[in-house]
Structures are given as C-alpha cells and as structure tokens.
C-alpha cells in the first residue's frame, strides 16, 4: 500500500524550475519531472521482479494530476500483469535461445514436412554461427526484438557479401520460418524477424544465365577430385544435384535411372536415359553403400566447387545447377526439340501441352542423351584450355 502523502494540485502548480532537472515524488511510482525551462512532465518509474521500468505519462497541465495518477496506475498494472504472464510462460516453454528454437523447429516441422530435411539440418549446423544460436529469444521486449533483428540483419548482410546473396536469402527464409513457427507454437512471445525482408539482407537475386564454355567443360571434366564423377554425371544427365546425390543403385535398372517422386523437386517420378557414357561413370565410381555417389552434403560439394573455381581463377563462377542449364542450352543448340529437352529436365509442361500432351518421347530422349554425350566427349578430348 502507498502510505506516502500525495501531492496537491496547488503544490504541483507551485513547483519552480531549477538549473537542472529534478523529480518530485507523488507516490506509487509517479513522479513529476521539472525541467529548467519550466516544463513539467509526469513519469512512471518503478521496479517489478527486479527490473526497472520508466514510462512517460504526459505533460502537465495538458494531463491533470488526477488523470496522470489514473494513467500511471493502469500502466503499472499492465506491466505487472505482463510480467506475471512472462513468468508463467517461462515456466512452460522449453526454448530459451535461438539455437534451441531452431532445433525444435527442425524436429517438429522440417523432419515432418520436408522431403529432404537433411539440407535444412546442414544449414542450421554449418552456416549459422554459435554466437547467433546463443542469442536469447524467448521473451524479448520491443527494444530487445529490434536489437535481435538488427543483429541477424547485420550478420546476414555480411554473409551476402562473402558467400552470396542467394545463400543469405535462403538462410533468412529458414530463420523466419523458425521464428514464425516459434510464435505460433507458443515457444516464444512474438516474432522478432517478421519485419525483416530479403531486400534488407541479400537483395534481389538476378536470374542466372551462366552456361559453361567448351574450355570450362573440359577443365571440370578432367579435374581430379572425389567430386569429379558427380560433376560429370550432372553434366551428362542435366538433373539436380540433390536428386543425383540421393540416387541409389536400386534406382538404376537396365538403361534407366528412375528418380522416385519423393526425391524429385516437382514430386513426380522421372526417368533418365543411361547411355554408355553415363554407365561408364557409374561403373568407375565406387560409391558409398547404397548410394551411387555416396552421400556428401550438397553444400559440401558446392563449397568444393567454389574453392576449385577460385583456384582456377574462373570468372564468373558457376554452380552445380549451371551444369543443368549448360546441358539444356547446348542440346537446344544441337537441334534437339525444346519439348524433348524439357521432358529430359523433368520440367512440367505449361498451357495446352500440360493438359493434352502426356507423351514420354522415349526414343527421342535416348537419342538426345547419346547426342549430348557424344558432343561432351568431343569437347573433353579436344586440345583446349581455359
């Protein structure tokens, strides 16, 4: 109970300015701050659960003394109730740090919903530094949320400069999914990353147009690395790296590699012609157990390629996915019908063709694969250099 004798309005009016600010106590955490200019302001200043809170209530006489007491009491009650709510929340949540939230997000959402959850796990484990994972996140004040968001933005902006805007934007997407999940699941109070956008981090991603030259194809084909068989396979088949890395020996039968629906990006089963040049890559590669190429992470292969390209001084650099674009572009240049190329890439048809054209073009696809393999053979055997 507040036993302090409260100030009278006449006393408030009589307060005179001094050379410096000073406070007069009205009780129950309400103070009147008097400026050297004579301006008088009501301020709520009190402690709750060991934490100090200070809130501006309003200027006198725009806000009367009676009104200030009412506003201050309501604000104090609001803060105290909010603090009780947070204490109750802390007793029930199993999340304190950002790293703990990311782990719960992975366990309860990614593993359940994603076809290839391992890729997200690798991002969380290998791309997000420990100092980010150690950030407190479960009960952030508005000011703390702003500071948390600014820290994430600063880190991702730096990541975009050193590792590329695509990777930075991908990380932002994962982090925002995690905080959105945490807020919806009641593991954190509010979503501190909701206002953060790709524009503020990595920026707009320009569509890639990279196609390898003959010299670049030959150099990559002939490099000696544990990843070389996979690079050759991607170039000849035009498939995605994630699909190739999940290829099992049991997926290959006769002259076909069948990509199961659960492994393909569009969720549709797809078959790839295994022509002699591709079969030779498979036979010469020892693999790793059930997997044709062993399971090395997609990001690990991409990191190796970046290092190799830097060492070879190749600019602009390319990615494993650019091998897919190279095959597509080159096959069109060789006279392969575009709809056959699209079918080989497992692209979904659009418009009328999507409705009426369900042809497999088996003979054309096999012929196109042989044509492309022969063309690559000529390139890699030619006396060219980067």
pLDDT 10s digit of each residue in the chain, 386 long?
Answer: 455 678 899 999 999 999 999 999 999 899 999 999 999 999 999 988 778 889 999 999 999 999 999 999 999 998 888 777 666 665 666 788 999 999 999 999 998 888 778 888 888 998 999 999 999 887 787 888 999 999 999 999 999 888 888 889 999 999 999 999 988 888 888 899 999 999 898 777 666 789 999 999 999 999 999 999 999 999 999 999 989 988 999 999 989 999 998 888 888 899 999 999 999 999 887 666 788 987 667 778 888 999 999 999 998 889 999 999 999 999 999 999 999 999 999 987 555 444 444 578 899 999 999 999 999 999 999 754 44
Q: Are 65 and 9 in contact (CB under 8 A)?
A: yes
Query: How many of the other CB atoms lie within 10 Å of CB of 265?
Result: 15
pLDDT computed for residue 180 by the predictor: 94
Computed on alpha carbons and rounded to an integer, the radius of gyration of the chain in Å comes to 32
**pLDDT at site 115:** 73
Q: What is the pLDDT of residue 25?
A: 93
Query: In the chain, what are the domain boundaries?
Result: 9-91, 98-201, 214-381
Which top CATH class is 98-201? mainly alpha
The CATH number given to 9-91 is 3.30.160.390
Q: Which fold has domain 214-381?
A: hpI Integrase; Chain A (1.10.443)
């Amino acid at each position: 109970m507040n036993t302090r004798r409260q100030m009278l309005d006449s006393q408030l009016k009589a307060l005179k300015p001094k050379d410096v600010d000073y406070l007069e106590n009205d009780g129950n955490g309400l103070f009147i701050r008097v400026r050297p200019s004579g301006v008088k302001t009501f301020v709520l200043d009190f402690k709750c659960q060991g934490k100090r809170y200070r809130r501006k209530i309003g200027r006198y006489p725009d806000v009367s003394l009676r009104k200030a007491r009412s506003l201050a009491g309501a604000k104090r009650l609001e803060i105290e109730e909010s603090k009780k709510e947070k204490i109750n929340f802390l007793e029930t949540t199993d999340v304190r740090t950002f790293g703990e939230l990311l782990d719960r997000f992975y366990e309860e959402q990614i593993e359940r919903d994603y076809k290839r959850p391992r890729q997200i796990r690798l991002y969380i484990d290998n791309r997000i530094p420990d100092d980010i994972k150690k950030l407190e996140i479960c009960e952030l004040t508005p000011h703390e949320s702003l500071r948390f968001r600014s820290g994430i933005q600063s880190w991702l902006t730096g990541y975009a400069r050193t590792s590329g805007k695509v990777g930075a934007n991908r990380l932002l997407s994962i982090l925002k999914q995690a905080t959105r999940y945490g807020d919806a699941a009641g593991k954190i109070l509010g979503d501190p990353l909701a206002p953060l956008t790709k524009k503020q981090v990595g920026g707009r991603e320009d569509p890639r147009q990279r196609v390898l030259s003959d010299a670049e194809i030959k150099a990559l084909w002939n490099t000696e690395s544990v990843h070389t068989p996979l690079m050759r396979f991607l170039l000849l088949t035009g498939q995605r790296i994630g699909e190739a890395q999940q290829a099992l020996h049991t997926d290959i039968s006769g002259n076909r590699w069948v990509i199961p629906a659960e492994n393909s990006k569009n969720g549709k089963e797809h078959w790839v012609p295994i022509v002699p040049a591709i079969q030779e890559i498979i036979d010469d590669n020892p693999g790793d157990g059930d997997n044709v190429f062993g399971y090395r992470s997609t990001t690990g292969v991409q990191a190796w390629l970046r290092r190799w390209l830097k060492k070879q001084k190749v600019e602009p650099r390319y990615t494993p996915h650019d091998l897919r674009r190279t095959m597509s572009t080159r096959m069109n240049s060789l006279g392969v019908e575009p709809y056959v190329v699209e079918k080989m890439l497992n692209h979904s048809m659009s418009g009328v063709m999507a409705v009426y054209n369900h042809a497999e073009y088996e003979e054309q696809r096999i012929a196109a694969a042989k044509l492309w393999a022969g063309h690559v053979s000529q390139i890699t055997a030619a006396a060219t250099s980067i």
